[in-house]
């Protein structure tokens, strides 16, 4: 059931919609994605989605699957590109984002397997740069991302673009690449991996430049643990120390969907 936002704010040039709980924020995200698919299909005969992993988007995928099962939504002419993948990791590893996407979305919908693109965690290190470049060129050749779904890390990361000392101007030019995970990211992944020492310390991530080039960006943030990063990104300056704040460079194309717990710092 769709719930209307309980409040809409306009912060750093971005639409920010507040919802009472994670469920209603996630339904709103799923409905936005569905609308993007419908509009892009009408305009170009296909839709290209940038997808995210983590705990936040699970509910979004559950709603998209429900819409598909109800016969209301097809992914036949959709292509998807995922934000990131651990490195190194095998696609069939239970902790890979390949596995996550298959388990949460792909196995339930009519998306053609060859249209579901993920960065390859088995590529040799010497070829990682070329692989990242090829991934970006595939997105371009597909006509660019109609929508990029994002979550926010507790440290403000988007994808695995972690906090850095770069100037904002340099950070927004970052391309798809192999990166080291930030200590906060590793600690947040510890439960999944069994301990912080077992978290794979590197990853391949879509660059900030590629994220910002999407025709629409949907940022979904839920839970009290996200409140500080959300407030910093929406109320503070654009800084590479808090990568989500750099979404203000694509302000007119970005929508934040936030539950009340994550919005606590905005009051
Ligand atoms: P989460 O991760 O959804 O698991 O909280 C979000 C992120 O790190 O982007």
pLDDT of residue 200: 98
Beta strand segments in the chain, E: 7-11, 14-19, 47-51, 78-82, 84-87, 116-117, 147-150, 177-180, 202-205, 217-221, 254-259
State whether the beta carbon of 151 lies less than 6 angstroms from ligand 1.
yes
pTM of the entire predicted model: 0.98
pLDDT of residue 21: 97
pLDDT of residue 2: 73
Q: Taking all residues of the chain, what is their mean pLDDT, rounded to a whole number? A: 97
Rounded CA-CA distance 210/99 in Å is 23
Residue 221's DSSP bridge partners are: 258
pLDDT of residue 175: 98
Domains and their CATH numbers in the chain: 7-266 (3.40.50.1360)
State whether the beta carbon of 56 lies less than 6 angstroms from ligand 1.
yes
- Each residue of 50-92: pLDDT tens digit? 999 999 999 999 999 999 999 999 999 999 999 999 999 999 9
Of the pLDDT bands very low, low, confident and very high (cuts 50, 70, 90), residue 4 is: confident
The alpha carbon of 44 and the centre of ligand 1 are apart by a number of angstroms equal to: 31
Rounded CA-CA distance 189/93 in Å is 15
For the CA of 226, the nearest atom of ligand 1: 5
Question: Which of 63, 157, 182, 260 is flagged as catalytic?
Answer: 157
pLDDT at residue 1 is higher than 70 = no
For the CA of 152, the nearest atom of ligand 1: 9
Rounded CA-CA distance 168/219 in Å is 19
Of the pLDDT bands very low, low, confident and very high (cuts 50, 70, 90), residue 9 is: very high
For residue 107, count other CB atoms closer than 10 A to its CB.
10
Q: What percent of the chain shows pLDDT beyond 70? A: 100
Catalytic annotation present for 84: yes
| SS3 label, residue 82 | strand
- Each residue of 161-178: pLDDT tens digit? 999 999 999 999 999 999
Question: Which of 155, 161, 182, 188 is flagged as catalytic?
Answer: 155
State whether the beta carbon of 22 lies less than 6 angstroms from ligand 1.
no
């Amino acid at each position: 059931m769709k719930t209307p936002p309980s409040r809409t704010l306009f912060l750093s040039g971005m639409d920010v919609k507040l919802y009472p709980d994670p469920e209603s924020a996630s339904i709103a995200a799923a409905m936005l994605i569905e609308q993007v698919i419908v509009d892009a299909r009408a305009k170009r005969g296909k839709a290209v989605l940038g997808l995210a992993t983590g705990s936040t988007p699970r509910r979004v995928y559950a709603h998209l699957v429900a819409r598909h099962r109800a016969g209301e939504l097809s992914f036949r002419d959709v292509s998807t590109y995922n934000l990131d993948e651990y490195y190194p990791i095998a696609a069939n590893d239970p902790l890979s984002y390949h596995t996550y996407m298959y388990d949460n979305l792909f196995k339930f919908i009519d998306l053609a397997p060859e249209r579901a693109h993920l960065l390859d965690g088995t590529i040799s290190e010497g070829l990682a740069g070329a692989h990242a470049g090829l991934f970006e060129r595939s997105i371009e050749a597909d006509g660019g991302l109609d929508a990029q779904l994002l979550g926010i890390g507790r440290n403000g990361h988007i994808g695995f673009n972690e906090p850095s000392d770069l100037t904002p101007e340099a950070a927004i030019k970052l391309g798809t690449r192999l990166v080291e995970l930030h200590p906060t990211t590793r600690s947040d992944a510890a439960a999944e991996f069994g301990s912080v020492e077992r978290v794979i310390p590197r990853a391949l991530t879509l660059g900030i430049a590629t994220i910002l080039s999407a025709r629409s960006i949907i940022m979904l943030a839920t839970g009290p643990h996200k409140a500080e990063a959300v407030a910093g990104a929406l109320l503070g300056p654009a800084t590479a120390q808090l990568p989500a704040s750099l979404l203000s460079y694509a302000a007119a194309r970005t929508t934040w969907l936030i539950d009340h717990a994550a919005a606590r710092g905005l009051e």
